[in-house]
Amino acid sequence: MPMFEGAVLDDARRIIGRYPASRERSAIMPLLYLAQSIDGMVTQDALREIGRLLAITTAEVEAVATFYSMYRLRPTGEHVVNVCTNLACKLRGAEAVYEAAHEAAGVAHGDERSDDGMFTVHEEECLGVCDHAPAVQVDFCNHDDVTPERMRGLIASLRGGDVPAPARGPAFASFKAASRALAGLEEVPAS
């Protein structure tokens, strides 16, 4: 079934409309987020359809999709746990947090996601929260000063169906929801 039809096509047109006329190709990144928000990953079909929408080849789309680390082209958990292990976080114990994330989420190193499909754990480069290291993002929502114990707690609450409150900003309930926000389509009420 085509992805870009009905409401999704409207969303795609809104995204394309942000950019100057005849610069549709600029919309490729938000369109990839849009596709990711629907399937929980960027599928081959989505790559093809984005290509069709922008009148470029699938290869051109995939070249872009594979360049950036926030697009997932492989099966992905409902929640994506990103643990920064770059220096500022490493100096404050990030490696133990990263190990704890794997263990608590039930994701072996090298696996795409947990057997239950709930979690993907990702080692991240600097997330820009060095002032509250170790930094973690769950579905791109920040959690500050995370210890292994807090990491286990975050995963436990997600497993229980609770979305933990992030350190700043609203919580997105899933990787899909966050991807929709990344496409610039989430109406977040002013606080």
Partner 1 sequence: MSADLVTLTIDGKEVTVPKGTLIIRAAEQVGVEIPRFCDHPYLAPAGACRQCYVQIEGQPKLATSCTVTVAPGMIVSTQNTSDAAREAQVANLEFLLLNHPLDCPICDRGGECPLQDQALAFGPGESRFIEAKRVFPKPVPMSPLIALDRERCVLCARCTRFCDEISGDRFLELYARGAGERVSIAAGEDLRSPFSGNVIQICPVGALTSIPYRFVARPFDLTSADSVCRHCSAGCVVRVDQRRGDVVRVLAREHPEVNDAWICDKGRFAFRHDDLPTRITTPLVRDRGLEPASFGEALLQVADACRQARVGVLTGGRLMDEDAYALAKLARTVLGTNDLDHRRVPQPVEVDRRAALMATDRDRAVTYRDLERAPVIVVVGLDAEQEIPILHLRLRKAAARGARIVVVHPRETRLHDVGEHVLCRPGDETRLLAGGADATMDAALAALSQAEGRGVVIAGERPGAAAAAFGAAEANGARFVLATRRAGDRGTLVAGVHPALGPGGRRLDDSAERAELERVWGPVMSTGPGRASMDILRAAADHELDVLYLIGVDPLRDAPDAALARRALQNVDTVVVQSLELGNLEPYVTVFLPAASGFERPGHLTDWEGRGQRMWPLRPAAGISRPDWEIFAGLAAAAGGDLGFETLDELHEEMGRLLAPREATEEAAQAPEAQPADNGLTLVTYPLLIDDGRMVRDAPDLHEALGEPPVVEVNPRDAEAHGLADGLGVRVRTAAGEAVLPARVTDRIAAGAVFVPFNQPGFAANTVLAGAFTVSVELEAVESPDAPESSVAPAGDAEPATVAGESA
Partner 2 sequence: MTFEPRLTRNWSNADAVGLDGYVAAGGYAGLKNAVTMSDADIVDVVKASGLRGRGGAGFPTGMKWGFVPRDTGKPTYVVVNFDESEPGTCNNRELVEREPHRLLEGTAIAARAIGCETAFIYVRGEYLWQSIVLERAIAEAYQGGYLGGDVAGSGTRVDIVLHRGAGAYICGEETALLNSLEGLRGQPRLRPPFPAVEGLYASPTVINNVETLMNVPDIVERGADWFRELGTEKSPGTKMVTISGKVERPGNYEIALGTPFRQVLEELGGGMLGGGTLKAWTPGGSSTPMLTADQVDTGLDYESLSAAGSMLGTAAIMVMDETDCVVDCAQRMVAFYAHESCGKCTPCREGSWWATRVLARIEHGYGREVDIPLMHDVGKNTLFRAFCALADGTASVINSSLQHFSEDYEEHVRLGRCPLKDAHVDVPAEVVAS
Site residues (CB under 8 A) for partner 1?
Answer: 44, 47-48, 56-63, 66-67
Instruction: Quickly count: other Cβ atoms within 10 Å of residue 21's Cβ.
Output: 6
* Tokens describing residue 111: 């696996």
Instruction: Please report how close the Cβ of residue 152 comes to partner 1 at its closest, in angstroms.
Output: 31
Q: Which does 47 bind (CB under 5 to 8 A by kind): partner 2, partner 1, none?
A: partner 1
Cβ proximity to partner 2, 30 vs 77, nearer residue: 30
HSE of 82, CA atoms in CB hemisphere, 13 A: 20
The count of residues in the chain is 191
| Helix ranges, the chain (H) | 6-17, 28-39, 44-54, 58-65, 87-90, 94-105, 148-159, 175-182
Decide if 104 contacts 136 (C-beta within 8 A). Answer: no
Cβ proximity to partner 2, 92 vs 152, nearer residue: 92
Q: Please work out the total of residues on this chain that contact partner 2, with binding judged by CB under 8 A.
A: 54
Q: Which does 71 bind (CB under 5 to 8 A by kind): partner 1, partner 2, none?
A: partner 2
Decide if 37 contacts 183 (C-beta within 8 A). Answer: yes
**Member of 3, 47, 88, 105 binding partner 2 (CB under 8 A):** 88
Sequence-distant (≥ 6) Cβ neighbours of residue 162 within 8 angstroms: none
Name the site residues for partner 2 (rule: CB under 8 A). Answer: 18-20, 23, 25-30, 32-33, 54, 63-64, 67-71, 82, 85-88, 90-92, 124-133, 137, 140-142, 166, 168-170, 172, 178, 181-182, 184, 186, 188, 190
